Structures are given as C-alpha cells and as structure tokens.
C-alpha cells in the first residue's frame, strides 16, 4: 500500500462543525493490552493488563471531547494509541486528513506514519520534564518543522516568532532556555510546539493539571482562543471535572479501560446515568460550602490486571444486581443518540 | 471548643538566605487555630503556606531560618510551648513532633520508607513517644489501620509501601500521623496526588477522625474546593503574607481582598459559560516584593499614590471574624461577581 499523501495543503476546514459533518477521527473497538512479565532474568509473559478495552467514539471537527477517569482507567493509553505513540492491540483509528481522505492509523507501520504526524499533536502535563533543558525554547518550538523538512531555516524562524506571539510569549525570548520561564510560560511553549505544524487534532493530556488556578485560567483561555483561530479539535484528557465541565463540549467517562458513559457536557453533569459517573460527580469538592461532597462510592478503582467478570464497576456499585455480575454491558444510546451509557440499569429520569 | 486556641502564630518571619539575598518566604504571618477546628492555609505555589507549616514543627532547613515571631502551642496537659524559642536539640521539640503535633505529607510514597514495613512505621512512632512494647505497638497499629479504613489490616501491617495503592498509602500516612493521638494535625496538600473519589474518602476520613479524636487541623492546600469541603476557617496567603482570613463561607461568598476575588474568578465551576478571569501578570519574585500593597501591580483596583507606597498594609477587620489587608476593601464592589457553583 502506498502511504496516502500529501501533507499539504493545510488551509482546509471545508467541513462544518455541526454533528452531521464527517468526523475528524473515528475510533472503533480500540484495545491495548500490556504484557506482565515475570521477575528474574528470563522475563516470561505471565499475564496481560487490559489497559484499553473496546473503546469507540467519534471526534467531530472543531469540538472538544473530554476524556475523564481515575488513574489507571486507560485515558492516557487511549490518547497515546490515537497519536500512535504506542501501537494498539486491536481496533481502528480512522483519521481524516485535510484532503478528505480517511486512513486507519492503527495498523500503519511506523515508517508510513510520518506524513500524518503533523496533523496530530500533543500538549503534555508537566511543563518541566517535557522541555529539553539544553535547548533554546525557539529551537524546541521549531524542531518539528526541522524534522519534517517542510521549511527553510528562515521560514522556520519566522513561524516560530509568529507562534510565540500567538501563545502570548515575547518572540525575542526565543533564545532563552526553559529554566528561565515559569510553569505557565513553559506550558505556552509546549502549546507553541504542538501548534507549529498546524495540526487538526491536538491531544492535551492533563495540560493544565500542574498549574496554579490563576495560571490554569490563562492557559484554558489561550487554548480556547487558539481553537477558534486554527479550527482545532481537542481531545482533552483530564481528571479534574471542574476544568472539564468548563472546557469540553462532550465528555467520555472511562473506567477500567472502557468508556462507561459519553454525553454532551451539560447533560452529563446534570443527568448522569452510569452509577460510576454519579459517584464521580458526587465526590467532586465544589468550591461552595453549601454543596457538600458526598461519599457515594467506597473502595478503590479496579486493578486492570484482575478485572472482575461482568461490569468492571460492579464490586463498588451501589445499585449492582444479578446481570451486572454475569454480563458486561455494552455502550448504548439512552434518552438521545448523543448520550451513551454502558449499564444494565434502566434509565433514570433527570432529577 | 476551648476559648484558648491550641495554636497561636504571631508575626512569624521565616527567611531563606540565598545567593539572591534574604528571601522572606514567610513575612509576618499571624493566625490562631481554635481547638477542634480546621483552618485552611490557601494560596498559589510559592506563597509561603508550606514554609509556615514547616515552621510550626521546626522542620525548616538551611538556607531557611525562623528569624522572628512567635509560635505558641498549648497542649491539653502541661505548660504552653514556645516553639520558636526551643533549642534544636530540646527534648520538648522531640516530644512535639509526632507526639503533640504531627504531619501528613503530600506525596504518600515519598513520606514512607521503602525498606520498612507499614507496621514498622506505625510502631516507631509509638515506641519513641509512648515506649510501647512490640505487642502493644502491633495491636494499636492494626487498630489504627482499621480506623483509617484499610481492609485486612493484619496483613497490611507486615507489607511494604510499594505493595499498596496511592490511596492506601495516604491512609497509612494518616494512620502514622494519628497513632500517637496528636492534638494538632498538619496536613500539607493531603489529597492533591489522589483521584477524586479517593480524595473524598480521605477528606471524610480526616473529618471523622478529627471528630472522634478531637484534634485540630491545619490544612495546607491550593484548592478552594478542598477548602470549602473540609475547613471551618481559611487564610489566603500571597507572597509570604496572609491577605485575607475568616470563616470559609464568608471568604468564598464574600471575598474582600482583590487577590482572593481573582482566585475565585479563575475557578471554572464558579464561572460556567463565561470566559475565565485570570489575574494579570505573575507572582513577583520574593527578591523584589513591590512596595506598598504587594499585590498592587496585578490588582484591578490599585490606586497610584495610595496602594503602591509605604509598608505592606496590615490585616484589618471588615466583618466579625473576617479580616483583609486591602486598603480599598470598603470602596470596591464585591461579592456580586462570584456566584455559587451550580450543582451537578
């Protein structure tokens, strides 16, 4: 198979942002298993961790989808599979390039992925470890262009300067080193690096989690502005529901490697259907003493190497009944097509 | 609640002596903590909240040093302890740390020794402070693990920290902090590293153990959500000073200092459907604290010739129990801009 080229042109966005427009990304039955090795010199495989299990969702052009869940729920692994930082075990990642062609990235060999890399970029959580301390920040931001060999040095320099202005940094600071910048400024550098290739999809993995609240607000505002300017689509991986509620159009809740609920943000927060989503929302410490948080779930998240049979949430679920122990519920539409839930319980009317 | 507070901090100065000069990380902090109450110290990175808490246990290390002020602790029995006046080798200091007052740290894995069992951590405190026998330490250790909600405590007692999950480790941290029945518990970002459901469990646990054991809690956090859910009173810190303090409800619903107002306006759930307001600029270096009100260069209400001259304004009472250090607190319109979070 010939690699589906070309990379250019980048001035596209022919599709609208409505729900009827073709998805930018379609993830279908995505799974990722990691082997567990025995101790000692000869590392035999003694089991697997099902980090991501049968995950399907669509990303529409211009939208922001939040991927939430506790540590170990598989949200970061899902994101890394989509970027092909790791190779999924099974499933499809159908990505639409600006020329309208759709390619399954899941099975593409590494060498053939390069033309797709500019379109999918990532902003990392930790602005300290994700920037090379020995490189000038201008070099860090310009490096993707250099690697793709798509521009001359002079063009690179111009585009870096433009990108610095765009993310609210002074272009004359591009010869400085990362240590000279604060956490918020470093995160701006990370964003500039992600956007310099004019990607259509940006994966932000806990991009504001390490920041103080006032800086977090600056970065969230910046991401919103850039989304409008460059018609970006965001996959926003986060555990902070306060931020997700503010920032995302739709939210997918993950538990033990599976999506248990997916809905428009407002609907998810006002009318959660899955018992796990409900307990998650109840546990959020809202900054209002009149809204006490509730302790509606006990125990800890499951060990993904020892998943219980049936619904993975059933040992902690307050509403567990017989089918939950035997049969794994599939994600199905409930109420409206936009709201999907993986639960055996009948629909709960909105409160 | 006793009339006399368990902890009184008066004009505390803890400075760091570095190449950049003398940095006032804690720059004249005063507060008191009532017996059985929970006070939250809240602020952004570098505001001095952790150094304040470390000062109380005399844990500040070089190049830092307490250069002024008083920390008075009143145990239930015995005379008050003037913490700042104790010699570094004073036996009372030893009795204080882990005995009268103890601490929960942010990173549960960093706070536990990887080569000692959970039981060894618990027994050490008991044997040092109460000279408990091995059997006695084991019995009380297991009882404490059960109290903090660890299942199969007999097994866990002999396990190592790496065998436990993050939430479990934080429970162990709490068990270690509480095993000698301290009167003052200092919790430094105890839930920051935890998932939200585990965070709720840990905050509830601290609350219920506090009610059961009657200890007072100094809670260090950057999260107004945690403040709202877990504290009675709150003190907001900026650049080594407390800029506002009062009952949690008053401060969150009716913030009087522009810095507190700015922090609350930056919280997403308090501002749904609106663009987040962020505080312009960034926190200045401790080596170059602005004259006058240290917040004035970032303050939307700053007045030239008034806010940017003279010494830093002192805290003053604006309502019963509610103090702020803003010179213009009465003039600036407040409260109306900070709505309450709409419940999910």
Domain extents for chain A?
23-248, 261-341
Q: Using CA atoms, how far apart are residues B238 and B259, in angstroms rounded to an integer?
A: 8
Residue numbers in A near B278 (CB within 8 A) = 214-215, 217-218, 221
Give pLDDT, residue A349.
Answer: 52
Q: Average pLDDT, whole number, for chain A?
A: 88
Q: How many CB atoms lie within 10 A of CB B246?
A: 24
Residue numbers in A near B189 (CB within 8 A) = none
How far does the CA of residue B161 sit from the closest CA of chain A (Å)?
Answer: 17
Q: Using CA atoms, how far apart are residues A331 and A122, in angstroms rounded to an integer?
A: 27
- Judged by CB atoms closer than 8 Å, whether chains meet at A291 and B224 is answered as no
Give pLDDT, residue A191.
Answer: 95
- Judged by CB atoms closer than 8 Å, whether chains meet at B196 and A246 is answered as no
3-class SS of residue B183? coil
Give pLDDT, residue B95.
Answer: 86
**Homologous superfamily of domain range A23-248:** P-loop containing nucleotide triphosphate hydrolases (3.40.50.300)
What average pLDDT does the segment B256-284 reach?
89
Give pLDDT, residue A39.
Answer: 79
Name the percent of chain A lying above pLDDT 90: 66
Which of A70, A218, A295 lies nearest to residue B204, judging by beta carbons? Answer: A295
Q: Which residues contact B81 (CB under 8 A, 6 or more apart)?
A: B72, B73, B74, B75, B92, B96, B100
Give pLDDT, residue B341.
Answer: 45
Tokens found for residue B300: 């939307």
Which of A214, A245, A283 lies nearest to residue B266, judging by beta carbons? Answer: A214
- Judged by CB atoms closer than 8 Å, whether chains meet at A284 and B271 is answered as no
- Judged by CB atoms closer than 8 Å, whether chains meet at A286 and B226 is answered as no
Query: For residue A162, is pLDDT > 50?
Result: yes
Query: For residue A10, is pLDDT > 50?
Result: no
Residue numbers in B near A182 (CB within 8 A) = 282
Could you tell me the CA-to-CA distances from A100 to A7, A83, A106, A273, B280 in Å, in that order?
11, 19, 18, 36, 42
Residue numbers in B near A39 (CB within 8 A) = none
Residue numbers in B near A238 (CB within 8 A) = none
- Judged by CB atoms closer than 8 Å, whether chains meet at A300 and B198 is answered as yes
| Cis before A270 (ω within 30) | no
The pLDDT tens digits for B58-105 are: 999 989 999 999 999 999 888 999 999 998 888 888 888 888 999 998
Interface test with B, best of A68, A286, A302 (most B CBs within 10 A): A286
A27 or B93: which leads in pLDDT: A27
Give pLDDT, residue A196.
Answer: 94
Please tell me which of A54-58, A316-320, B43-47 the model is most confident about, judged by mean pLDDT: A54-58
Lowest mean pLDDT among A7-21, A60-74, A319-333, B37-51: A7-21
Query: For residue B155, is pLDDT > 60?
Result: yes
Give pLDDT, residue A251.
Answer: 97
- Residue of chain B whose alpha carbon sits nearest to that of A247: B268
How far does the CA of residue B75 sit from the closest CA of chain A (Å)?
Answer: 30
Residue A332 forms contact with B (CB below 8 Å)? no
Which of B200, B225, B277 lies nearest to residue A287, judging by beta carbons? Answer: B225
Q: Which residues contact A297 (CB under 8 A, 6 or more apart)?
A: A276, A279, A280, A282, A283, A316, A318, B197
The pLDDT tens digits for B319-331 are: 999 999 999 998 8
Give pLDDT, residue A6.
Answer: 41
Give pLDDT, residue A2.
Answer: 43
Give pLDDT, residue B191.
Answer: 86
What average pLDDT does the segment B304-314 reach?
94
Residue A70 forms contact with B (CB below 8 Å)? yes
Lowest mean pLDDT among A160-169, B49-58, B272-281: B272-281
Sign, Cα dihedral of B178, B181, B182, B183: positive
Which of B249, B265, B278 lies nearest to residue A218, judging by beta carbons? Answer: B278
How far does the CA of residue A70 sit from the closest CA of chain B (Å)?
Answer: 6
Name the percent of chain B lying above pLDDT 90: 64
- Judged by CB atoms closer than 8 Å, whether chains meet at B196 and A241 is answered as yes
Inter-residue contact B130 to B212 (CB < 8 Å): no
- Residue of chain B whose alpha carbon sits nearest to that of A240: B196
Residue numbers in A near B44 (CB within 8 A) = 212-215
Give pLDDT, residue A95.
Answer: 96
Residue numbers in A near B198 (CB within 8 A) = 70, 300
Residue B284 forms contact with A (CB below 8 Å)? no
How far does the CA of residue A281 sit from the closest CA of chain B (Å)?
Answer: 7
Give pLDDT, residue B342.
Answer: 42
Q: Using CA atoms, how far apart are residues B83 and B9, in angstroms rounded to an integer?
A: 10
Q: Which residues contact A180 (CB under 8 A, 6 or more apart)?
A: A173
- Judged by CB atoms closer than 8 Å, whether chains meet at B165 and A300 is answered as yes
Tokens found for residue B199: 């965070």
- Residue of chain B whose alpha carbon sits nearest to that of A268: B344
3-class SS of residue A222? helix
* Pair type for strands A45-59 and A25-37: antiparallel
Q: Using CA atoms, how far apart are residues B273 and B341, in angstroms rounded to an integer?
A: 12
Which of A221, A224, A287 lies nearest to residue B278, judging by beta carbons? Answer: A221
Query: For residue B188, is pLDDT > 60?
Result: yes
User: What phi and psi, each to the nearest 5 degrees, are found at residue A173?
Assistant: -85, 5
Which of B44, B195, B282 lies nearest to residue A239, judging by beta carbons? Answer: B195
How far does the CA of residue B12 sit from the closest CA of chain A (Å)?
Answer: 25
How far does the CA of residue B80 sit from the closest CA of chain A (Å)?
Answer: 34
Q: Using CA atoms, how far apart are residues B133 and B183, in angstroms rounded to an integer?
A: 23
Residue A280 forms contact with B (CB below 8 Å)? yes
Residue A8 forms contact with B (CB below 8 Å)? no
Between chain A and chain B, the number of residue pairs with CB atoms below 8 A apart is 135
Residue numbers in B near A284 (CB within 8 A) = 196, 225, 344
User: What is the helix (H) or strand (E) element at residue B323, kind and residue range?
Assistant: strand B322-324
- Judged by CB atoms closer than 8 Å, whether chains meet at A245 and B272 is answered as yes
Give pLDDT, residue A20.
Answer: 52
Residue numbers in B near A212 (CB within 8 A) = 44-45, 222
Residue A305 forms contact with B (CB below 8 Å)? no
- ipTM of the complex as predicted: 0.84
Residue B45 forms contact with A (CB below 8 Å)? yes
The pLDDT tens digits for B18-62 are: 998 999 999 999 999 999 999 999 999 889 999 999 999 999 998
Q: Using CA atoms, how far apart are residues A125 and B48, in angstroms rounded to an integer?
A: 24
List all residues of chain A from 170 to 229 with a beta carbon under 8 Å from chain B. Answer: 182-184, 212-218, 220-221, 224
- Judged by CB atoms closer than 8 Å, whether chains meet at A286 and B268 is answered as no
Inter-residue contact A272 to A216 (CB < 8 Å): no
CA-closest candidate to residue A297, choices A309, A271, A315? A315
């Amino acid at each position: 198979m010939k690699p589906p080229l070309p990379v250019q042109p980048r001035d596209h966005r022919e599709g609208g942002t409505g729900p009827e427009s073709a998805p930018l990304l379609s993830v279908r039955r995505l799974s990722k298993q990691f082997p567990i090795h025995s101790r000692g010199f000869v590392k035999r495989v003694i089991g697997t961790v099902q980090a991501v299990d049968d995950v399907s969702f669509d990303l529409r052009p211009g939208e922001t989808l939040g991927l939430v869940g506790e540590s170990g729920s598989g949200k970061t692994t899902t994101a890394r599979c989509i970027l092909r930082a790791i190779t999924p075990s099974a499933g499809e990642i159908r990505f639409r390039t600006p020329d309208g062609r759709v390619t399954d990235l899941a099975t593409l060999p590494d060498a053939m992925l390069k033309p797709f890399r500019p379109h999918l970029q990532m902003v990392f959580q930790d602005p300290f470890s994700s920037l090379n301390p020995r490189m000038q920040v201008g070099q860090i931001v310009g490096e993707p262009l250099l690697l793709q060999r798509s521009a001359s040095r002079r063009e690179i320099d111009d585009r870096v300067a433009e990108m610095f202005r765009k993310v609210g940094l002074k272009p004359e600071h591009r010869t400085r080193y990362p240590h000279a910048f604060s956490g918020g400024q470093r995160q701006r550098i990370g964003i500039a690096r992600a956007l310099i290739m004019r990607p259509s999809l940006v994966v932000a993995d806990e991009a504001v989690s390490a920041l103080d609240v006032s800086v977090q607000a600056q970065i969230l505002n910046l991401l919103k502005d850039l989304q409008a300017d460059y018609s970006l689509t965001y996959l926003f991986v986060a555990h902070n529901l306060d931020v997700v509620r503010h920032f995302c159009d739709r939210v997918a809740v993950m538990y033990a490697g599976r999506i248990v609920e997916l809905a428009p943000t407002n609907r998810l927060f006002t009318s959660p259907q899955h018992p796990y989503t409900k307990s998650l929302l109840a546990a959020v410490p809202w900054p209002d003493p009149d809204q006490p948080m509730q302790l509606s779930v006990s125990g800890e998240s499951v060990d993904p190497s020892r998943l219980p049979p049936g619904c993975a949430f059933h040992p902690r679920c307050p509403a567990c009944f017989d089918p939950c122990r035997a049969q794994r519920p599939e994600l199905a539409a409930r109420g409206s097509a936009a709201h999907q839930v993986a639960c055996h319980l009948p629909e709960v009317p909105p409160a | 609640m006793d009339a006399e507070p368990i902890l009184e901090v008066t004009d505390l100065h803890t400075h760091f002596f570095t190449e950049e000069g003398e940095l006032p990380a804690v720059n004249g902090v005063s507060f008191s903590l009532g017996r059985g109450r929970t006070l939250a110290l809240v602020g952004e990175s570098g505001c001095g909240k952790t150094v304040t808490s470390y000062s109380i246990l005399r844990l500040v290390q070089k190049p830092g040093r307490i250069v002024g002020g008083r920390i008075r602790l009143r145990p239930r029995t015995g005379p008050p302890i003037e913490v700042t006046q104790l010699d570094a080798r004073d036996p009372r200091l030893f009795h204080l740390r882990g005995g009268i007052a103890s601490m929960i740290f942010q990173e549960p894995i960093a706070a536990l020794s990887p080569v000692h069992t959970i039981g060894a951590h618990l027994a050490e405190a008991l044997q040092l402070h109460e000279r408990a026998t091995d059997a006695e330490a084991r019995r009380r250790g297991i009882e404490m693990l059960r109290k903090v909600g660890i299942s199969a405590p007999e097994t866990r007692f002999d396990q190592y920290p790496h065998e436990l999950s993050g939430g479990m480790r934080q429970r162990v941290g709490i068990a270690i902090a509480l095993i000698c029945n301290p009167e003052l518990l200092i919790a430094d970002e105890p839930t920051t590293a935890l998932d939200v459901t585990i965070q709720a469990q840990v905050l509830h646990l601290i609350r219920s153990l506090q009610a059961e054991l009657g200890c007072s809690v100094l809670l260090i956090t950057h999260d107004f959500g945690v403040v709202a859910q877990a504290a009675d009173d709150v003190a907001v810190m900026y650049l080594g000073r407390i800029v506002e303090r009062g009952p949690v409800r008053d401060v969150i619903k009716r913030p009087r200092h522009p810095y507190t107002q700015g922090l609350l306006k930056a919280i997403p759930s308090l501002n749904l459907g609106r663009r987040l307001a962020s505080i312009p600029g960034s926190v200045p270096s401790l080596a170059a604290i602005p004259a006058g009100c240290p917040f004035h260069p970032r303050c939307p209400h700053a007045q030239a010739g008034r806010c940017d001259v003279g010494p830093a304004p002192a805290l003053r009472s604006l309502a019963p129990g509610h103090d702020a250090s803003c010179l213009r607190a009465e003039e600036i319109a407040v409260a109306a801009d900070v709505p309450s979070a709409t419940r999910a």
